[in-house]
Amino acid sequence: MMTITFGLLLAAFALNLSDLPRTAMACLFLCLVMVVGIFLWEIYSPDYGFRMPWLQVELRHAAADGST
């Protein structure tokens, strides 16, 4: 995926140097959409996603006798 991202950014740079700014902006927009999609997939994927322990909440039950 990073290869595709790098390729799109390189294509945008080359197209901008070739005086094709609209096509370069289209490549940049496609790169942005792809990067946001990859980010959301990696965060929300239940199998592959990143674990963020600071966002996970567990309900802990208090002991019946009052001790902790």
3 token code pair: 């290869």
d(CA 12, CA 5): 11
CB distance 15 to 30 below 8 Å: no
For 19-65, write each residue's pLDDT tens digit. 999 999 999 999 999 999 888 887 777 776 666 666 665 666 666 66
Q: What is the pLDDT of residue 44?
A: 76
CA atoms within a 13 Å half-sphere pointing along the CA-CB vector of 59: 1
d(CA 12, CA 40): 23
For 1-17, write each residue's pLDDT tens digit. 789 899 999 999 999 99
